[in-house]
Structure 1
């Protein structure tokens, strides 16, 4: 549902306003859906550590000595104690450390960001705010500045510079995240209930999306 509560410094960014203030095209059709899917899959895959692993028969601790003689014992032949058929032996075809990362072309990343931003604007989930300035980097001060925010919703603040009092003040709050306009990606825009863009952020986002498409 559209965000109805507004104040003098924070308002819903409509599709019409976004098209007037940004040169990059606001996507309203199905274009970019596949790029958005590929980008989210890649971002999540790149966070995987890939460090899980099991020991094979060659890496299990123990010597290569035969546990008993080849013949004369009445037992089945056994070559080494690290055999996978024994308890404590190696693991056959177990997981090994690997790299899960995926590479995306710049055009795909740009189109995914454009699609994610366009979709959230169309939902009415993006709010436009004046530059958020705090006298002190305190969470209480930030909450007072965001007086129209529903405290039960997750919130993403896209600010001009991450090294600011807003970034420091938000670290204590579990429902608030802060990212700079130069670093925000498509996945960042999908998880929160509401997104707040500072006014100076629009030209930065527009520059990042400039090669992704222009209004006709």
Structure 2
């Protein structure tokens, strides 16, 4: 699949790049995408929720009424969950929501996500670029030139570009990531992918590697 390479002004450079079919034209697996997105979202959860149970409530353990003869249920102390201010029954405890996925499945999920974007013609390849000074306006002009200013876009670069990142972080619905940070959730969440020329090669080498996570 050949895609023309554009510059940051949105003009064709006369160059093109071949997007490999075994990355951008695979048989997509919706279930692999689902599992990878589920893992990503699970890993974002802090899991620090906690409520006090009966043994953790501060207060007296004095028996509040006699055992028999009141006509009501017996009660040991005010810490009982049936009373206001008492402990919670089976309350939440700190836990890790993360779970393991095989590397091959995660690789298939990302390939499937890239395939969907390529199939919908939502992939734009641009020359490797940088911004001299961090300016939001400069980045907005780039998005406008590429005709994606109204879309939720994900810019994939081959290495950390500080000025590009600083120029984009105040723009809603726009995110800049390196190839190493590319994940299924953000690919599927974006309406349009903008990939730098250098990042295309890095993506190919990453998926061809036998140790890709």
CA 10–186 in structure 1, closer or farther in 2 if over 3 Å, else same: farther
CA 133–72 in structure 1, closer or farther in 2 if over 3 Å, else same: closer
* Greater relative contact order, per chain length (Cα 8 Å cut-off, separation 6+): 1
- Runs in 1 of length 4+ with deviation above 3 angstroms? 24-28, 68-77
Give structure 1 stretches of 5+ with no counterpart.
Answer: 1-5
In the aligned structure 2, how far is the partner of 1:195 from the partner of 1:84? 53
In the aligned structure 2, how far is the partner of 1:63 from the partner of 1:163? 60
Q: CA deviation at 1:10?
A: 7.7
Q: CA deviation at 1:198?
A: 0.2
CA 122–73 in structure 1, closer or farther in 2 if over 3 Å, else same: closer
Check if 1:141 corresponds to 2:142: no
Are the equivalent residues in 2 in contact too, given 1:9–1:129 (CA < 8 A)? no
Alignment of structure 1 residues 133-172 onto 2, 5 Å: 133-146=130-143, 147-172=145-170
Residue 34 (structure 2) aligns with: 37
- SS at 1:84 equivalent: coil
Count residues in correspondence. Answer: 200
Residue 200 (structure 1) aligns with: 198
CA 133–74 in structure 1, closer or farther in 2 if over 3 Å, else same: closer
In the aligned structure 2, how far is the partner of 1:9 from the partner of 1:107? 36
Residue 180 (structure 1) aligns with: 178
Residue 18 (structure 2) aligns with: 17
In the aligned structure 2, how far is the partner of 1:156 from the partner of 1:203? 17
Match for residue 124 of structure 2 among 127, 138, 145: 127
Q: CA deviation at 1:104?
A: 1.4
Q: CA deviation at 1:211?
A: 4.8
Give structure 2 stretches of 5+ with no counterpart.
Answer: 1-5
Q: CA deviation at 1:202?
A: 1.0
Structure in which a larger fraction of residues adopt strand: 2
Structure in which a larger fraction of residues adopt helix: 2
In the aligned structure 1, how far is the partner of 2:13 from the partner of 2:152? 17
Are the equivalent residues in 2 in contact too, given 1:45–1:100 (CA < 8 A)? yes
In the aligned structure 1, how far is the partner of 2:73 from the partner of 2:127? 80
